[in-house]
């Protein structure tokens, strides 16, 4: 394969600016195979793949484009996750590219995430060219956006293609600019193998499928490979590249190419994103730079709604982990919720995705406890504990001090909302670092925020206080000493461990009060009165009461329709099933989660 005819690139954009639509158009306007490959009847192979029903992750795809210069080019379009939780994955995907298309909405202009992604791309020495999308919108102002791109990001934008991905306008121009502006890969096919893992999936037939970019050297069936970070070694069974929706095997992958390899690897953990694959018999001298072990940022307890489903939950987590090395979990028990797992996630979105997959793909009903971050507890005896479960907080007398993780956040907002967003950041214990005005109407606010203040509902609050206009991006900064306390919730005088969480002492009262109010709404009335209390260090700081039930009668007789009557009772019983018994109080499972959303503005 002629390296000069390869273009490895990705598309970066803010959510909703049209990234996937543009990707679809690119795939549509190009072909899947070169003329030569057509003649080699690779089609048969594809058929086979199709029968086996293997699909690859969306959007990482190889397409063939016949350019106006008459030459055929191979485009490898590499997907990047679009969310701040997956910044590390984004950075590894970018490292697999040589260039990037920046999609900017002609009406909305640049957003915080756009900036973050572009900087990430520029950091990786990618050549970035902009594309202005949605020019068919009445509110489109392409010239204004072009200037904004040049002023704010500092990349040339005057000849940016003006397109509408939705309506297929201007796509040819994008394809030509990919050829012209994105550099061909370099790398010596004869050098020792050096390949970057940017993703991996688990396939029940083939084992782990490694998505990689070959930086140096070549790899083919039979090559004995070694993952440099994990040390795992296996023999390659198959190499190939990505068709739209299929894996297409080929003879070899060489420097500059993007593709996959399989090697009967059974555990995704052996093939961590960012690791370097080399030839075990002829290893390269150095791994590629930038590898880091992914760290969970957010922890929460996951419990099966039906205690008997605990083994099912364990199996499901095991299976999910095969495909998602950044998920980790360990068993824990809660007095209120029984047996479950403490799980670590990259962020709240990651948590939500996993939760949804468990519920949808594995048919599990889950109870989730309040998400928390990892606190560092410095004990008086010099020991440092990394605390992921509030229940494990040592006795206050044993604690010297505690630290919490802090992030640097950038919030892009139109000027009219600066006030309310600053207020929000202030409420969340933000430390103001500065503000840059962009184009007169918008500002980029810079704050340092404790991570535990943004994992709950910060994003929702941000959106609602800016009518959806604010955008937000953050980076881990490190740990800082903080005055933290454990807030306990007592229901009918009994402490409910699954509702405890760590909070800054200044927010404890406010949070405790809101928790009590929320729980009062969620807990159904019982035959007796139920006090709900929030306490810090054994001292009650807030209280609400669920009044006793006085009357609950089903008076009517539906003309002998007993089935209907029974259905009503069953509904009540069904509701009961979704309850957790704590002492003699039944708490609906959703109460454990509803307390996460306490921002009421």
Query: Per residue, what are the HEC states of 421-481?
Result: HHHHHHHCCCEEEEEEEECCCEEEEEEEEEHHHHCCCHHHHHHHHCCCCCEEEEEEEEEEE
Contact 259, 240 (CB under 8 A): yes
For other proteins, the closer of residues 222 and 559 by Cβ is 559
Judged by CB under 8 A, the residue of 361, 566, 581, 597 near other proteins is: 566
For other proteins, the closer of residues 285 and 555 by Cβ is 555
Contact 586, 524 (CB under 8 A): yes
Q: How far is the CB of 570 from other proteins (least distance, A)?
A: 6
User: Beta 258-262 vs 207-216: how paired, if at all?
Assistant: antiparallel
553: contact with other proteins by CB under 8 A: yes
**Which span (33-41, 179-187, 216-224, 556-564) binds other proteins, by CB under 8 A?**
556-564
308: contact with other proteins by CB under 8 A: no
For other proteins, the closer of residues 505 and 573 by Cβ is 573
For other proteins, the closer of residues 513 and 565 by Cβ is 565
Q: How far is the CB of 527 from other proteins (least distance, A)?
A: 6
Judged by CB under 8 A, the residue of 572, 592, 595, 599 near other proteins is: 572
Return the half-sphere exposure (C-beta side, CA atoms, 13 A cut-off) of residue 457: 16
558: contact with other proteins by CB under 8 A: yes
For other proteins, the closer of residues 43 and 569 by Cβ is 569
**Which span (23-31, 46-54, 301-309, 546-554) binds other proteins, by CB under 8 A?**
546-554
For other proteins, the closer of residues 493 and 564 by Cβ is 564
363: contact with other proteins by CB under 8 A: no
For other proteins, the closer of residues 433 and 569 by Cβ is 569
Q: How far is the CB of 560 from other proteins (least distance, A)?
A: 5
Q: Which residues contact 52 (CB under 8 A, 6 or more apart)?
A: 205
**Measured distance CA(320)–CA(213) in Å, rounded:** 25
Judged by CB under 8 A, the residue of 560, 592, 595, 598 near other proteins is: 560
Q: How far is the CB of 540 from other proteins (least distance, A)?
A: 28
570: contact with other proteins by CB under 8 A: yes
Phi and psi (nearest 5°) for 95? -65, -20
Contact 323, 268 (CB under 8 A): yes
285: contact with other proteins by CB under 8 A: no
**Measured distance CA(389)–CA(332) in Å, rounded:** 9
**Which span (123-131, 408-416, 484-492, 551-559) binds other proteins, by CB under 8 A?**
551-559
For other proteins, the closer of residues 285 and 562 by Cβ is 562
559: contact with other proteins by CB under 8 A: yes
569: contact with other proteins by CB under 8 A: yes
Using alpha carbons, list the distances in angstroms from residue 57 to 136, 151, 199, 210, 274: 30, 36, 10, 12, 18
**Measured distance CA(208)–CA(594) in Å, rounded:** 38
Judged by CB under 8 A, the residue of 386, 556, 600, 601 near other proteins is: 556
Q: How far is the CB of 587 from other proteins (least distance, A)?
A: 17
**Measured distance CA(417)–CA(414) in Å, rounded:** 6
576: contact with other proteins by CB under 8 A: yes
Using alpha carbons, list the distances in angstroms from residue 59 to 79, 197, 251, 314: 5, 17, 23, 31
Judged by CB under 8 A, the residue of 538, 551, 600, 601 near other proteins is: 551
Burial 159-197 (b: 16+ CB within 10 A, else e): ebbbbbbeeebbbeebbebbbebbebbebebeeebbbbb
539: contact with other proteins by CB under 8 A: no
Burial 275-311 (b: 16+ CB within 10 A, else e): bbbbbeeebbeebbeebeebebbbbbbbbbbeeebbe
Judged by CB under 8 A, the residue of 15, 433, 476, 554 near other proteins is: 554
How far is CA 258 from its chain centroid? 23
For other proteins, the closer of residues 425 and 587 by Cβ is 587
552: contact with other proteins by CB under 8 A: yes
Reading the block at residue 268, the tokens are: 């995704």
Task: State the residue for tokens 């919720």.
Answer: 337
For other proteins, the closer of residues 333 and 584 by Cβ is 584
Q: How far is the CB of 585 from other proteins (least distance, A)?
A: 14
For other proteins, the closer of residues 311 and 575 by Cβ is 575
Q: How far is the CB of 571 from other proteins (least distance, A)?
A: 9
Binding residues for other proteins, rule: CB under 8 A, are 527, 549-563, 565-566, 568-570, 572-573, 576
């Amino acid at each position: 394969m002629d390296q000069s005819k390869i273009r490895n690139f990705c598309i970066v954009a803010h959510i909703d600016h049209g990234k996937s639509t543009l990707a679809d158009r690119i795939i549509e306007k190009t072909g899947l195979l070169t003329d030569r490959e057509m003649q080699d009847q690779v089609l048969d192979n594809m058929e086979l793949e199709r029968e086996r029903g293997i699909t690859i992750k969306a959007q990482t795809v190889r397409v063939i484009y016949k350019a106006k210069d008459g030459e055929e080019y191979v485009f490898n379009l590499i997907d990047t996750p679009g969310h701040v939780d997956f910044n590390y994955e984004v950075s590894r995907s970018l490292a697999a590219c040589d260039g990037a298309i920046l999609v900017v909405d002609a009406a909305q202009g640049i957003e915080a995430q756009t900036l973050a992604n572009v900087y990430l791309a520029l950091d990786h020495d990618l050549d970035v060219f902009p594309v202005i999308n949605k020019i068919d919108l009445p509110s489109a102002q392409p010239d204004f956006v072009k200037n904004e791109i040049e002023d704010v990001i500092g990349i040339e934008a005057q000849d940016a293609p003006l397109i509408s991905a939705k309506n297929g306008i201007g796509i040819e121009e994008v394809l030509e600019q990919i050829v012209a502006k994105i550099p061909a890969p370099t790398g010596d096919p004869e050098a020792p193998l050096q390949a970057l893992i940017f993703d991996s999936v688990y396939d029940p037939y083939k084992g782990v499928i490694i998505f990689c970019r070959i930086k140096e050297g070549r790899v083919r069936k039979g090559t004995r490979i070694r993952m440099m970070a994990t040390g795992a070694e296996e023999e390659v069974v198959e190499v190939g590249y990505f068709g739209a929706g299929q894996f297409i095997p080929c003879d070899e992958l060489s420097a500059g190419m993007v593709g996959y390899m399989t090697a009967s690897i059974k555990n995704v953990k052996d093939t961590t994103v960012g690791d370097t694959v080399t030839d075990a018999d002829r290893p390269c001298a150095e791994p590629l730079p930038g590898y880091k072990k992914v760290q969970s940022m957010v922890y929460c307890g996951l419990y099966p709604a039906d205690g008997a489903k605990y083994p099912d939950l364990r199996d499901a987590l095991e299976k999910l982990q095969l495909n998602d090395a950044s998920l980790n979990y360990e068993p824990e028990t809660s007095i209120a919720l029984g047996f479950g797992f403490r799980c670590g996630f990259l962020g709240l979105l990651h948590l939500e995705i996993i939760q949804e997959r468990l519920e949808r793909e594995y048919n599990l009903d889950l109870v989730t406890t309040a998400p928390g971050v990892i606190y560092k507890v410095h004990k008086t005896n010099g020991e440092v504990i990394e605390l992921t479960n509030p229940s494990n907080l040592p006795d206050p007398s044993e604690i010297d001090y505690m630290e919490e993780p802090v992030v640097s956040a950038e919030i892009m907002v139109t000027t009219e909302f600066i006030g309310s967003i600053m207020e929000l950041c202030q409420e969340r214990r933000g430390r103001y670092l500065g503000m840059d005005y962009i184009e007169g109407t918008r500002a980029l606010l810079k704050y340092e925020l404790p991570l535990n203040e943004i994992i709950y509902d910060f994003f929702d609050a941000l959106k609602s206080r800016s009518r959806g206009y604010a955008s937000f991006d953050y980076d881990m900064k490190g740990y800082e000493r903080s005055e933290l306390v454990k807030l306990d919730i007592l229901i009918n005088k009994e402490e409910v461990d699954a509702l405890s969480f760590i909070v800054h002492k200044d927010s404890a009262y406010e949070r405790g009060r809101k928790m009590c109010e929320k729980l009062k709404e969620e807990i159904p009335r019982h035959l007796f009165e139920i006090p709900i209390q929030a306490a810090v260090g054994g001292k009650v700081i807030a209280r609400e009461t669920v009044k006793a039930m006085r009357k609950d009668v089903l008076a009517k007789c539906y003309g002998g329709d007993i089935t209907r009557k029974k259905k009503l009772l069953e509904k009540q019983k069904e509701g009961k099933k979704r309850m957790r018994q704590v002492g003699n109080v039944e708490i609906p499972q959703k109460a454990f989660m509803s307390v996460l959303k306490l921002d009421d503005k």
